Amino acid sequence: MAPSAPAISISGLHKAYGAHSVLNDLDLRVERGSIQGLVGLNGSGKTTTLECILGLRKFDRGDVRVLELSPANLYAARGRIVAIFDTPSLNPNLTVRQCLQQAALLLDRPARDFSDVEALLGIQKYAGFRIKQLSLGNKRRASIAQALLADPELILLDEPFNGLDAGGVDDILQLIRTLNAESGTTFMLSSHQLPYLEKICSHIAILHGGNIAANGAIDELLGNKQVIRLLSPDVEAARTRLATMDGVKVLAEEDGYLSLECESMDSAELNAQLVGHNIAVAELIREKASLETLFRKITGAS
């Protein structure tokens, strides 16, 4: 593959179920060496997108290339591309070690030993356990262990943090960082866990209305915008007044606070304008824009 070629290239991807269009000429480019997040509301088409990328679902039109291979030819990657979906699909009657041995049969030559990937995922003590005896979190670890036998160039993870406790999430985040930094592994993560994605991803794509509504480096998407949280004893009057202010947008209301995006004024000027119109201000908190704030702004999620 040419060095400049992206890990994933999607152009004009369209998929409909009957009269209902799920993906509408979707375009997406995932650069090699990146950690790409894919987020969207329930039913936005995240899983359909992954299935089209992997050749698990036929699409109506468009072009998809994964490490320059078409979805129908991904078998030729021989372990360079791996995907792990929300529900681990391991044989429940095999042990962890037997699952790894089975996965190794698909490879020309495993890049890692079975014991190495078990240790990497912290499941070495479960090597002799049958999959049906494991917790959901350890089933997920076993799935990822399979994926790492081949030292893949591209890993796609669907809801990678489901079923994991806080320690397990930290382990997976660190594993992703290590593989990305040391091996240059490209990741595509589809998840609802926005705070985790904000911690780990270099790039974010927000899927909305059947298309990519925003995509780019996460630092560029979030920029230096400040979100101001406003607490007022007269929240309705504050909301009404804010609606008349240029460059001020109410993003959400949570726990009595209004989250605002202010483009043309700082918190001191906002406070002065509200108080000048006899609207009491109990508290103003400045926060850096977050992925969750951006997501809510684009999707209208409450």
pLDDT at 263: 74
pLDDT at 134: 92
pLDDT at 256: 84
Decide whether 8-221 matches 223-299 in CATH topology: no
What distance in Å separates the CA atoms of residue 240 and residue 234, rounded to the nearest whole number? 10
pLDDT at 294: 86
Please list, in sequence order, all residues whose beta carbon lies within 8 angstroms of the beta carbon of residue 175, skipping any fewer than 6 positions away. Answer: 120, 121, 144
Domain map (residue ranges) of the chain: 8-221, 223-299
pLDDT in tens, 133-150: 998 888 888 998 998 998
Q: What is the CATH number of domain 223-299?
A: 3.30.70.920
pLDDT at 1: 47
SS3 assignment, position 264: coil
Helix (H) or strand (E) holding 9: strand 8-17
Burial classification of residue 232, based on how many CB atoms lie within 10 Å of its CB (0-12 exposed, 13-18 middle, 19 or more buried) = buried
For domain 8-221, give the fold. Rossmann fold (3.40.50)
pLDDT in tens, 34-91: 999 999 998 899 999 999 999 999 999 999 999 999 999 998 888 899 998 877 789 9
pLDDT at 302: 61
pLDDT at 225: 63
pLDDT at 150: 86
In which residue ranges of the chain is pLDDT below 50? Answer: 1
What does 89-149 look like in DSSP terms, one character per residue?
---TTSBHHHHHHHHHTTSSS-SS-HHHHHHHTT-GGGTTSBGGGS-HHHHHHHHHHHHGG
What distance in Å separates the CA atoms of residue 267 and residue 271, rounded to the nearest whole number? 6
Q: Are 41 and 187 in contact (CB under 8 A)?
A: no
pLDDT at 3: 53
pTM (predicted TM-score): 0.79
SS (H, E, C) 140-201: HHHHHHHHHHHCCCEEEEECCCCCCCHHHHHHHHHHHHHHHHHHCCEEEEECCCHHHHHHHC
Rounded CA Rg of the chain: 23
